[in-house]
Amino acid sequence: MAAERPAVSLQDVHRHFGDVRAVDGVTLQIRDGEFFALLGPSGSGKTTCLRLIAGFDRPTAGRVELFGAPADHLPPYERDVNTVFQDYALFPHLTVGENVAYGLTVRSVPRAERERRVAEALELVRLPGVGARKPAQLSGGQRQRVALARALVVRPRVLLLDEPLGALDLKLRQQMQTELKAIQERLGITFVHVTHDQEEALAMSNRLAVLNQGRVEQIGTPAEVYESPATAFVANFVGVSNLVQGPLAEALAGSPAAFTVRPEKISLLEAGAAAPAGCCTVDGRIQDVVYLGPHTRYVVEVAGGAPFTVLEQNRERTSGDVQAARGRPVRLAWPRDANRPVGGAS
């Protein structure tokens, strides 16, 4: 298979701060042109990895390569990589136009071309005409777009985004997710997106890496990571999962090896109802009901194991029906092939 040079390659990279191992042996390849997400909780090392790629930090051990060439010794201003910072980092003393033009100004690009490219970049992020204003006069969402424009105007080969949507409210965030994805597809450059929001990572990325305590737990496409979590951590961090182990696992699957089942794969049947062929079934009692609008989350007590979380769409039910379900005995049923074995148990 023709090995194309990966845009970014981290090879057994470590970054230690005294006793703290922020990055503890991370190896991953990011392909040219893909939208790659680094997903993990706080302290997982994802931002540190980003900083190592950008050049703000040097690894304690291991290699960082950009397009096949070692990059460890290169300072940030010599790497073909640009960053959109979490706090946007817009220069307060410059106008929006001057901010966006900064990378070009520093490279002594002539004025006419500079102005043209700045206008182009602002169009790309759908903020035409704000060039004369100061960053303080813009809203959070607008500032975020300016930061994006500023990073893109110099045409980097890799764009790094450090939790760029964290400060935005839900609607705006979802809108920006779509826009970012569209921009990336249009420009075709590599995006590396750091986030703790697993929904965001699943929605936007071509591939993602799940990080935990400085180590990679799994790398794969969103579908792979969600449907075949490699470890218990991934199973519980990316979405919610029910962990079945011990005697209950033995009873349901014939072996005590632990496995996970996603809540939306489980159906709630009447107590004692017959389940379709090829299903596991468990009897229990509804302990708690949370009405979420489009769906409802049930917590069901079962004998011999931890309570199950079940997620059902409220297709025919109303909130009244749903609340009345509390305390009712039920039977849980799900297809056997929805069981996913767990690699290192937590």
Name the residues that contact other proteins, by CB under 8 A: 54-56, 75-77, 81-83, 85-87, 89-93, 102-103, 106-107, 150-151, 154
> Residue 265 CB, nearest distance to other proteins (Å)?
43
> Residue 268 CB, nearest distance to other proteins (Å)?
48
> Residue 131 CB, nearest distance to other proteins (Å)?
17
> Residue 115 CB, nearest distance to other proteins (Å)?
17
Q: Which is nearer to other proteins, 68 or 76 (CB)?
A: 76
Q: Which is nearer to other proteins, 92 or 344 (CB)?
A: 92
Q: How far apart are CA 14 and CA 32, in angstroms?
A: 23
Q: How far apart are CA 34 and CA 4, in angstroms?
A: 13
Taking Cα atoms as reference points, which of 144, 137, 155, 157 lies closest to residue 53?
Answer: 157
Q: How far apart are CA 109 and CA 96, in angstroms?
A: 18
> Residue 205 CB, nearest distance to other proteins (Å)?
22
Q: Which is nearer to other proteins, 105 or 255 (CB)?
A: 105
Q: Which is nearer to other proteins, 161 or 216 (CB)?
A: 161
Residues forming a β-bridge with 331: 269, 283
Q: Which is nearer to other proteins, 156 or 284 (CB)?
A: 156
Under 8 Å between Cβ of 284 and 332: yes
Q: Which is nearer to other proteins, 75 or 293 (CB)?
A: 75
Under 8 Å between Cβ of 309 and 240: yes
Question: What values do phi and psi take at 230, rounded to 5?
Answer: -80, -30
> Residue 262 CB, nearest distance to other proteins (Å)?
38
- List the strands of the sheet with 81-84, edge to edge: 81-84, 158-162, 190-195, 35-39, 207-212, 215-220
